[in-house]
Amino acid sequence: MHYTNFSYRQRWWHKKINSRKLLLISLLVALLFNCFLASLNSTAPPAASIVKLYPPLTTATASSIYSVTVNNKPVFVEKYNSLSYVQFAFAGTANIEIQVKEKVNNYTISPKSYKLTSRQQGNKISFSLTVPRKLILHHVNSLDEKLFILADPLEENPPQLGDRQVTNIINYQVDNTGKINATDKIQQAIDDVAEHHGILYFPAGVYKTRQLNLKSNITLYLAPGSVLAAITEADPSHGRGLLQLENVQNVKIIGRGTINGNGSYWRPRKGWYTLILLKNAKNIWLQDILLKDPAVANVWMSYSENVKIDNLKILANPQPEFLNTDGFDFWSSRNITINNVLYVGTDDATAHGGDRKSQIHNNENINVRNSVFYNGNGFKIAATKIPNYIKDITYENIDVVFANELSGFWPISGGYFENIYFKNIRVEDILDTPEDDKSARLFTWLIRVGSGDPDSSPERFGHIRNIFINNLTVEHRGGAKSVFLGYDAQRNISNVVFDNLCIEGKKILNPHDAYFDIKNQYVQLKFTSSNPTIVNIKASALYASQGNAGQFQITRTGDKSKPLTVKYTIRGTAKNGKDYQKIPGEVTIPVGADTVAIAIQPQNHNLRQRLETVFLSLENQPHSTSYMLSPNFQAVVNIR
């Protein structure tokens, strides 16, 4: 055996080399471990788009006319009587392709004001969205079936099963197959959950029920794919609501599920009930749900206040057709905001009335904005039982794709209509030929004895005053002239201002060109032209990432000689001040400028698992003409 005799210096040098090797190995291991941890937190940026599909019901009928994909994912197209619809949520960009059963020669995508760029090839129609929208595909060749596209934003903080405040309805042994009447068990769950101010969670499935009486301090969450359906074995709720909110406060009904009234079954059998009925209710929030097939009205509010309704979708398409499927009825109620809704129905999109049977007498401070209406009779303000006021009402930034009539005012049995604003309303089409209960007019404003109304008499007549119609654009005015009739110098129609009225491409400055029939001297209309301030928002930089800011731009038209402060709602799956640098809820466009930018600077990048959204929606100025909202009222920046 051979031994090497190292000197002290050689031994020292060898030891030093080994120490360096160990240090390098340790550093390499630490680096690899940190890389591994970083990979768990996603070193690659999240995908540029997310599409979330809602589970279809096994009992749902598929359309035989349309098929749809979103980012190459098939989306179930549900047939409901003579229409079809798809519903999904997305972030980023949604590339939508619609395949029709036959070659497409012509089609329309509404609202036209959105100015979507679409492409057609053979039997396919395609377009892209970067902002949530409610769209209608119609006039496809000679096909009667219309396709409604309900493109939602991603849900923000939906309740999670397992959370302390969340109760799963299945814990009450409730049938979710739609085969068994579950009313008693659901009602028991409502009673129990309300006691601890909790959330009652309905997973995907069908829950057959009769009238449910909600209690104060409860949230009903309908998860995507869940349906509360009126039973067909017995009358669900005659004269009341399938969901009855009476003498309650602090109630939320939210989620991407559906409330199905089975009205097509019940109305021919004399069924008469509203889907959601509020009576003496306060602090109510309805958000995101789909209301379908009512027997009568969809949402009725009487003697109620402080109600917020957002992103509701109403599909009321009964067959055979019947009336009374109103979208939103206000009866002696106040402080109500309805934002970003779709109404498809056979009667009034909104209707007003009232009496003095409760503490609230007047309809006031009601704000309806950023919505799409199809079919029905538009904006109705009609009979009240005892004289009261309907005042401080705003309709703004609404697309009326089709209607039998735009507006009917009837103060014929009590009621004074004052301070009502229509701002930036766009009408695509009015009925060509009058039919029963369908006037084919833009306006029917009459102060006269109502036929068939025992409460209508001259001593009970009210008036119509201080009505401001700004930027009303009508593509097709309908088959009949508008009619305006006052009664006398006190019970009259006065101080009605049409500013920037445009009918069939023509600026209107007199009643004759508007096809208005002024019946007597008790009608005073004024026509003006102005340069209004219209505000819109867009995402000028759609994506944000670490070191690359996203950006919103808010712009205005009109007068720039004064600063303009615009408020907006901040939503989205990203948290303001946590996932991105905090932004305020308003911005001021300075004197002389027409644009201001809002930067979105991401934070906590290493914790991000998927695309997050910053969703801004402009607020309007109710019963004011300081500025108006445009069709581009909301925008999204996506954080990678």
pLDDT tens-digit readout, 572-585: 999 999 999 999 99
Q: Is 6's pLDDT higher than 60?
A: no
Residue 565, phi then psi, degrees to nearest 5: -95, 125
For β-strands 634-639 and 612-618, DSSP reports them as antiparallel
Place of tokens 């009769």: 210
Q: Is 249's pLDDT higher than 50?
A: yes
DSSP code of 421?
A: E
β-sheet bridge partners, residue 128: 95
User: What pLDDT, on a 0 to 100 scale, did the predictor assign at position 384?
Assistant: 66
Q: Of 471, 519, 509, 414, whose CA–CA distance to 629 is shortest?
A: 471
Judged by phi (left if over 0) then psi (alpha if -120 to 50, else beta), residue 173 lies in: left
d(CA 291, CA 307): 17
User: What pLDDT, on a 0 to 100 scale, did the predictor assign at position 453?
Assistant: 72
Decide if 600 contacts 576 (C-beta within 8 A): no
pLDDT tens-digit readout, 517-529: 999 999 999 999 9
Decide if 405 contacts 438 (C-beta within 8 A): yes
What kind and span of H or E run contains 439?
A: none
d(CA 571, CA 156): 8
Q: Which CA distances in Å does 210 have to 185, 189, 297, 627?
A: 11, 14, 16, 45
DSSP code of 592?
A: T
Instruction: Give buried/exposed letters for 526-541 (b at 16+ CB in 10 A, else e).
Output: ebeeeebbbbbbbbeb
The mean-pLDDT minimum among 40-49, 417-426, 499-508 falls in: 40-49
Which has more pLDDT, 246 or 37?
246
Q: How much of the chain exceeds pLDDT 70, in percent?
A: 91
User: What pLDDT, on a 0 to 100 scale, did the predictor assign at position 537?
Assistant: 98
Return the structure tokens found at 506.
């023509």
Whether the CA torsion 568, 574, 575, 576 is positive or negative: it is negative
What ranges in 146-283 are assigned the alpha helix state H?
Answer: 183-195, 263-266
d(CA 430, CA 434): 10
Q: Which CA distances in Å does 218 have to 134, 184, 215, 438?
A: 29, 17, 7, 40
d(CA 351, CA 323): 13
Place of tokens 């002239």: 481
β-sheet bridge partners, residue 544: 639
Residue 265, phi then psi, degrees to nearest 5: -80, -45
β-sheet bridge partners, residue 472: 425
Averaged pLDDT, 368-384? 89
d(CA 244, CA 238): 12
Instruction: Give buried/exposed letters for 324-342 (b at 16+ CB in 10 A, else e).
Output: bbbbbbbbbbbbbbbbbbb
d(CA 485, CA 261): 38
d(CA 596, CA 127): 29
**What strand order describes the sheet that includes 66-70?**
73-75, 66-70, 94-100, 124-129, 118-121
d(CA 307, CA 590): 34
Q: Is 217's pLDDT higher than 50?
A: yes
Averaged pLDDT, 492-501? 98
Q: Is 32's pLDDT higher than 70?
A: no
Return the structure tokens found at 325.
């499927």
Residue-averaged pLDDT of the chain:
92
Q: How far apart are the first and last CA of the chain?
A: 66
E strand residue ranges, 247-327 = 249-254, 258-260, 274-279, 282-287, 290-292, 299-302, 305-310, 313-315
Which has more pLDDT, 69 or 30?
69
β-sheet bridge partners, residue 489: none
Decide if 537 contacts 130 (C-beta within 8 A): no
User: Residue 611, Cβ neighbours under 10 Å: how many?
Assistant: 21
Q: How confident is the model at residue 24 (pLDDT cuts 50, 70, 90)?
A: very low
d(CA 564, CA 591): 8
**One-letter amino acid identity for 521?**
Q
d(CA 487, CA 261): 41
Return the structure tokens found at 110.
């509404």
pLDDT tens-digit readout, 322-336: 889 999 999 999 999
User: What pLDDT, on a 0 to 100 scale, did the predictor assign at position 606?
Assistant: 61
Q: Of 45, 5, 4, whose CA–CA distance to 548 is shortest?
A: 45
Q: Is 182's pLDDT higher than 90?
A: yes
Return the structure tokens found at 239.
């004269």
* CA 379 distance to own-chain centroid: 17
Return the structure tokens found at 140.
């496809």
What kind and span of H or E run contains 33?
A: helix 8-40
User: What pLDDT, on a 0 to 100 scale, did the predictor assign at position 275?
Assistant: 98
